[in-house]
Amino acid sequence: MSPFFKELFINRSFSFYLPATSLNALGSSLFEIAATVYVYNESNNDPKSIAFFMIVLLLPSIILPPFGGVIGDKIPKKLVITISNILIGIFALFMFLFPFTTYIYFLSFLVSSIRILSGPSRGSYIPEIVEENYILTANSRLQSGTSITTIIGMLISGLVVAKLDAVYGFLIYAICIFIASFLTILTKPSTINEEESSINTDKKNLLGNLIKGFVKLIDVKDALRVTILVGVISGVSGIINVLYLVFVTEVLGMEESFYSVLMVIEAVGLFIGSLIVKHLQNKLGYLPLLSLCTIVDGICIGLHYSIDSMFSFLFLGLLTGTVGAQISILSNSILQKTTEASSRASVFGSFQMIIGIFSIPGLFIGGLIQSNENVRILFGISGLIITLIGLYYFTKSYFNKNKINNNVDKSSISNSNG
């Protein structure tokens, strides 16, 4: 492998997994916008329909992630990812063929359930196909690739919604994810990691394996810090995620298709964030940078309280995308580097379950808001809460930067007490 190719794609397996993940993101972006616009239109533009749809997608995250973690620790992660992709593709085809509201909700629930069951395997697969010192780089490359394809997906979705019909987004999603399944099959995880990830799992009962993920998450202090921080961000963000389409159409008075423009701008921000995260992490450290990105995210969200122009709205979207990418990359990298192979998927399952529990109350609150003024107030309050939690974590992590970085960077810190 040439030096340039190795720098860009790291190794052969990652060179297949990167486009597979990117195609998945392209299809997912189409699906999410198409489904959101579809249910919004079918409900006569009722904001509660968006909240209800998002809750349907998130409900499995309350129960299923720990089970997904057990699956990921017992069954080869490559197999879990491939089978889940194939099933999601089949359900997406059904949504295209039978575009009725009831079917959309039910099949979206199934798609979400499979995503969540396979989520711990996806989140913990990178350490099995790249060397440990490339984990942050691999996550950055994945974010860059998914950001680019998300931009493409958003542009296509805008055309699909405006010129054709939202249900065509389901068809493109199915095609993308079938191709992603084939590319994933071509990856080759490390046999050493596969053996480590199955050690001592067969002799434990289901309850014991479920509890294991929570115990490990609590035991590894840096992983616990990340979980609490991202949980609060997700919970508060759940409020405003419901309201972005309402903000676009009712507050700014734009067409529904402009919602996809916002998504494109945020995806550009995600790409920028993925390019600069490694440089900033080298300067600040993992948790200080994570906290700083949280502060910026909160400020941007809070500023929605007073903006009226399209330019300001899109600029804030660019900034939130930039810091959002870094929050995602850093949190995944910390979890991957601080947990041992035998329980990594279970830890990710516990992490994702906690995030889901935080998110759903926010979606309920966002769905209850009707007036434009209350939408603005919620953005302001949400931004303040995220900013304050970011400031608290930044104060604690910055002054302990060296200690935290040593914990995250050690290859043997799977049982670190941080």
| C-alpha angle 298-302-304 in degrees, rounded to nearest 5 | 130
- d(Cα 363, Cα 295) in Å, to the nearest integer? 22
* C-beta separation of 329 from 274 below 8 A: yes
Nearest to 239 by CA among 411, 326, 417, 368: 368
* C-beta separation of 369 from 378 below 8 A: yes
For residue range 310-335, list pLDDT tens digits in order: 888 889 889 999 999 999 899 888 88
- d(Cα 204, Cα 213) in Å, to the nearest integer? 13
At residue 208, the pLDDT reads: 66
Q: Which residue has the higher pLDDT, 418 or 66?
A: 66
For residue range 367-395, list pLDDT tens digits in order: 666 555 677 888 888 899 999 999 998 88
37-51 mean pLDDT? 70
For residue 44, what is the DSSP state? T
Residue 45 zone, left/alpha/beta (φ > 0; ψ -120 to 50; rest):
left
For residue range 45-97, list pLDDT tens digits in order: 666 677 677 777 777 877 888 888 888 888 888 999 999 999 999 998 888 88
279-304 mean pLDDT? 90
Nearest to 313 by CA among 386, 365, 375: 375
- d(Cα 283, Cα 263) in Å, to the nearest integer? 30
Nearest to 148 by CA among 282, 284, 247, 271: 271
At residue 84, the pLDDT reads: 93
At residue 199, the pLDDT reads: 41
First to last CA, the chain: 37
What the chain holds in terms of domains, given with CATH numbers, is 11-409 (1.20.1250.20)
* C-beta separation of 169 from 30 below 8 A: yes
Nearest to 234 by CA among 356, 393, 328: 356
- Which residues touch 46 (CB under 8 Å, ≥6 apart)? 40
For residue range 287-296, list pLDDT tens digits in order: 889 999 999 9
For residue 248, what is the DSSP state? I
- d(Cα 176, Cα 360) in Å, to the nearest integer? 29
Within a 13 Å sphere around the CA of 232, how many CA atoms are in the beta-carbon half?
A: 21
pLDDT category of residue 243 using cuts at 50, 70 and 90: confident
- d(Cα 78, Cα 96) in Å, to the nearest integer? 27
For residue 303, what is the DSSP state? G
- Which residues touch 68 (CB under 8 Å, ≥6 apart)? 116, 117, 118, 119, 120, 121, 345, 349, 352
Q: Is the pTM of this model over 0.95?
A: no
For residue range 160-215, list pLDDT tens digits in order: 766 667 777 888 889 999 999 999 999 888 754 544 444 444 445 666 666 766 77
Average pLDDT, the chain: 78
Give phi and psi for 237, each to the nearest 5: -65, -25
| C-alpha angle 351-354-357 in degrees, rounded to nearest 5 | 150
At residue 297, the pLDDT reads: 93
* 106, burial (CB in 10 Å: exposed 0-12, middle 13-18, buried 19+): middle
Nearest to 275 by CA among 329, 319, 210: 329
